[in-house]
Chain A
Amino acid sequence: MKKIEAIIKPFKLEEVKDAVTAVGVKGITASEIQGFGRQSGHTEIYRGAEYTVDFVPKVKLEIVVEDSMVDSVVEAIAGSAKTGKIGDGKIFVSDVGDVIRIRTGERGADAI
């Protein structure tokens, strides 16, 4: 099992959700986050005063899937989140040791 974490532009949330649902993802955790990468923050100037945005607002998605689905989910995210401009975000894929569904106690792939 893998965890796929994707940092995307906020307005892309619906599109990405639809895209990953279409390839069979059953659950997504989404959070409002702020951070910076290459896009970094920036400074707006208004009437001579500077207004700095250090952290850019983004949405983080967390999705856990079976290994066989990783490629299609990553592709779905990358395809739907892309605008081609700076700040489109990143996707991280990492191993997941185990998954437990709290209500039933199911473990592993059954609990996804």
Chain B
Amino acid sequence: MEVHAKTDVPGDAADEGPIPVLRRERAGLAQEAYNLSGLAYARRHADLFDSALRRVWDDAIAGAGESLGPVALVALGGYGRRELCPFSDIDLMVLHGGRRTDGVSAVSEAVFYPLWNEGFDVGHAARSVKDCLSLAASELESLTTLLDARLLAGDADLFDGLRADLERKIGKKRRALLTQSRAAIAERREAYGEGAYVLEPNVKEGFGGLRDVHHVQWATRMLDGDGSFDDLADTGYLSRHNRDRLLEAFDWLLKVRTTLHYLAGRKTDRVFVEYQEDLAGRLGCKGVEGFSPGDHFMRDYHEHSATIKHVATLFWSRVTPPRRRVAIPGRRQRISERDTPAGKEASGTGDSREGARAAPTGVANGLALFAEAARRGRIPDPDVVESIQETLGPCEAPITWSRESCGHFLSILESRGASVDALETMNEIGLLSRLVPHWDGIRYRPSAGAYHHFTVDMHCFRAVAELTRLAEGEDDRSDLTRRLCEEVRQPDALRLATLLHDIGKGGENHAARGATLAKQICDATGLGDGELVSFLVANHLLLSVTATRRDIDEVHLIESMADRVQTVERLKMLYLLTIADSVATGPAAWNEWKAALVRELFFNVLHVLEEREGLRENPSPAATHAREEARAALASEPAADVDAFLADLPDSYLAGFSSDAVHLHFRLVHNLAAAEIRTLARPTRAGAVEFALGATDRTGLLAKVAGVLALNSRNILAAQTYSLSNGTALQIFLTTGYFDDRPEETDWDAIADDLKRALFGRMAIDYRLARKLAAYQRGGRFHRAAEILVDNSVTPSATVIEVHADDRIGLLYTIAKALHDLELDIRVAKVSTSADRAVDAFYVVDAHGAKVEDAAHIEEIKRGIEHQLERT
């Protein structure tokens, strides 16, 4: 290697010391920095240090004694590679012949002190060749630092000796070193995470950062190359095309790092959001359609970073092949059965197309290969990916989606573990943009907001993978989400909607915009039910926004949510999408607190929708499942009685109660004597108590029970009554206290006694309730007239009478009694209260078990109820 013994200091500065010259020239370089490419800047910056250090070295040697022995000044690491950003460390080593004499120490001090005094971060060492080799043997990082070593001044023979020894050492354990390199890359990925796709990437250490290119260069040196970019293609591990892409991306990232150092005024590698607009300005990113300058810059950043990641992965797959790979028809099996480095590409040009002539080409075949690999939980061999990339054809060529293509695409979304890698790779090579219309609108797009951790495209990939995790029950303490995943009847549509849920990002109201785009995508590709996917995309924020900002116990809110969602099936999909979206966003967007709120809202809307659906005739698989569970819990009871009992009860009942509760209810009505009344009180939710009873069926039963509960200061939240074929009635009331919420203070035995007296006509409920009302009447309240609605469209089997009235003690009793007087049989009563207004719905049939459809009869019923309400 040629050693520059002379410095090239300009003549007029010859009298100036080397450090002042360096200071002046660095200031001059800073003025030009933004006009230079990343590598050009880094090289010129290193050259300035070279010049200064050679003068410093000469002075130091001149000051040392005769007995100094062989010494040399060596640049290491990034400085050795001539890759100096404005505030990079200056790694230097004084190499000596063997003994660290006073002379060596004096020379070292004379070299290092001026740099320290100037405030540079100097990595410094004084070592013998033997020191260097033993350090290099002990850890990979010391070895790679030495791989970059460059002689600045001094004894060239000494330095060449070090290089020769190092190469011999490497030659002996090439494979082990390459394995260690891979491990180091994996460790770094663990420690620094992604470089591409995160919102504030680390330009050096992040995955897809500058360090990945260094590793490629080091590995080439370990394999007898010289590690230059030309060498990467010449040695056959990369095609020229990919070499050029790697070089371009590296150069761009290096410029980002240089600019970042200047903006921060110090050494920093993290591309924080606050620098991104300035970086955009300095790197000439002016913004493109739908992308602000800052977003434009970050999109370019991610694209370059992804290129590095992609090419480096390709390189490593050829250097140290992993064990498993996907066979490609018509493609020569390479690498797997050979050893490095003898197994380099035979062509010598590294043109990987050479062996790929018969390989499938084009978008559709590319998709098929990704799908084939995904079904095995992998992504295709990097060689295959490269050949797919090269054969994608011109961007404007239209894509024809076939049934088969749709199947392939959906199977990638479904694949366990591989979906993120597969989608990411498809994204990088441009396959996804070719397949999915409008995809480029979110490709590498940074997400706005502190909640987000990833770019929009990566966020969508992660959300899809999250669905798979949910299906495997990894997220929930309970197995609710796993069960919901099993029950969803159109999982493909859910996965597609999850991939597309943020497709509208980049414009106002991204959910609505995305819904329109999703519909177009479905129509153009045939990938799924456009209406459903579009609905899910449009409403993907509905549950999480409502859960945190609205009163999720408010009846009208829940009803209007139910109106909007319409079916249990869509609600389940929306719930799963909400969780997948939130978890994939980042830790700030999802925690147990928010999960509890969203789950609560989900259940509230679910109950309403199930009630609406449960009264329809067709049983869902879930209802069948609930029946089987109840049957299992009742295994100890007489089978014929159990069958009859379960046959009498609707799906909505079984969906609403645990199998233990069903067993308790069975005991209430089983083998009941004619005059017998059995009761049960058990605490359920939120300080509420379920009061259930079994009794011989008779009209007016509901009114009497409601009356007794009112007399005992129990507020009725919900009531269900069922007439069973064995002549008994099962009635279940969800109750709370009027005046306090402590269930233990209610004497349920006393209530049971009261009930018996009432049923046998020994208690004047009207009279007692009137007295109680007089004692507790809340004065001065605004009174609104009751509204009574009759609806025959809700269910084919019953008429629904809905009463909206001011809440008060004994309201259910009053209405039930009015219905009883009209000989109406109450099948189900649903009672709920919002603020001080009660909304009670009764599913009734007339004395003959038929719906009430005669207009005059309906009018009569309304009058009768109104009268009772006004009277009391």
Residue ranges of A at the interface with B (Cβ–Cβ < 8 Å)? 9-11, 14, 32-34, 38-51, 53, 55-57, 83-87
Besides A40-B687, A44-B603, 8 more A-B contacts (Cβ < 8 Å) are: A9-B551, A42-B688, A51-B480, A51-B603, A85-B553, A86-B687, A86-B736, A86-B741
- Asked whether B106 is an interface residue with its Cβ less than 8 Å from the other chain, the reply is no
Give 22 pairs: A residue, B residue, CB < 8 Å, sorted on A: A10-B548, A10-B549, A11-B550, A33-B593, A40-B686, A42-B688, A44-B599, A45-B658, A46-B606, A46-B655, A47-B622, A48-B625, A48-B633, A48-B654, A51-B478, A51-B603, A56-B596, A57-B594, A84-B835, A86-B686, A86-B687, A87-B553
- Asked whether B709 is an interface residue with its Cβ less than 8 Å from the other chain, the reply is no
| Chain B residue contacts of A38, Cβ below 8 A | 687, 741-742
Interface pair B685/A42, CB less than 8 Å apart: yes
| Chain B residue contacts of A10, Cβ below 8 A | 548-549, 597
- Asked whether B656 is an interface residue with its Cβ less than 8 Å from the other chain, the reply is yes
| Complex CA distance for A45 and B606, rounded to whole angstroms | 11
Chain B residue at minimum C-beta to C-beta distance from A42: B685
Interface pair A42/B597, CB less than 8 Å apart: no
Which residues of B, 311-357, contact A by the 8 Å Cβ criterion? none
Interface pair B836/A48, CB less than 8 Å apart: no
Contacts A44-B603, A46-B603, A48-B658; is A83 near B835 (CB within 8 Å)? yes
User: Residue A46 contacts which of B480, B549, B551, B594 (CB distance < 8 angstroms)?
Assistant: B480
Q: Nearest Cβ in chain A — how far from B375, in angstroms?
A: 31
Q: Nearest Cβ in chain A — how far from B647, in angstroms?
A: 17
Residue ranges of B at the interface with A (Cβ–Cβ < 8 Å)? 478-480, 483, 548-553, 591-594, 596-597, 599-600, 603, 606, 622, 625-626, 629-630, 633, 654-659, 661-662, 684-688, 736, 741-742, 835-836
Interface pair A53/B626, CB less than 8 Å apart: no
Contacts A34-B592, A38-B741, A53-B596; is A43 near B549 (CB within 8 Å)? no
| Chain A residue contacts of B836, Cβ below 8 A | 84
Interface pair B685/A43, CB less than 8 Å apart: yes
Interface pair A11/B551, CB less than 8 Å apart: yes
Interface pair A11/B548, CB less than 8 Å apart: yes
| Chain B residue contacts of A86, Cβ below 8 A | 686-687, 736, 741
Chain B residue at minimum C-beta to C-beta distance from A58: B593
| Complex CA distance for A100 and B50, rounded to whole angstroms | 54
| Chain B residue contacts of A42, Cβ below 8 A | 684-686, 688
Contacts A34-B593, A34-B596, A51-B599; is A43 near B483 (CB within 8 Å)? no
| Complex CA distance for A38 and B596, rounded to whole angstroms | 18
Interface pair B622/A11, CB less than 8 Å apart: no
Q: Nearest Cβ in chain A — how far from B677, in angstroms?
A: 26
| Chain A residue contacts of B654, Cβ below 8 A | 48
Chain B residue at minimum C-beta to C-beta distance from A38: B741
Q: Nearest Cβ in chain A — how far from B317, in angstroms?
A: 45
Chain B residue at minimum C-beta to C-beta distance from A40: B687
| Complex CA distance for A9 and B549, rounded to whole angstroms | 10
| Complex CA distance for A10 and B593, rounded to whole angstroms | 10
| Chain A residue contacts of B597, Cβ below 8 A | 10, 57
| Chain A residue contacts of B661, Cβ below 8 A | 45
Q: Nearest Cβ in chain A — how far from B813, in angstroms?
A: 22
Chain A residue at minimum C-beta to C-beta distance from B657: A45
Q: Nearest Cβ in chain B — how far from A69, in angstroms?
A: 28
| Complex CA distance for A47 and B656, rounded to whole angstroms | 7
Q: Nearest Cβ in chain B — how far from A97, in angstroms?
A: 31
Chain A residue at minimum C-beta to C-beta distance from B683: A40
| Complex CA distance for A48 and B657, rounded to whole angstroms | 6
Counting from the closest, the 5 A-B pairs by CB-CB distance are A42-B685, A48-B629, A38-B741, A32-B593, A42-B686
| Complex CA distance for A57 and B548, rounded to whole angstroms | 10
Q: Nearest Cβ in chain A — how far from B596, in angstroms?
A: 5
Chain B residue at minimum C-beta to C-beta distance from A46: B480
| Chain A residue contacts of B835, Cβ below 8 A | 83-85
| Chain B residue contacts of A84, Cβ below 8 A | 835-836
User: Residue B551 contacts which of A40, A47, A83 (CB distance < 8 angstroms)?
Assistant: A83
Contacts A11-B548, A42-B685, A53-B596; is A47 near B483 (CB within 8 Å)? yes
Q: Nearest Cβ in chain B — how far from A53, in angstroms?
A: 6
| Complex CA distance for A83 and B833, rounded to whole angstroms | 12
User: Residue A47 contacts which of B552, B625, B633, B684 (CB distance < 8 angstroms)?
Assistant: B625
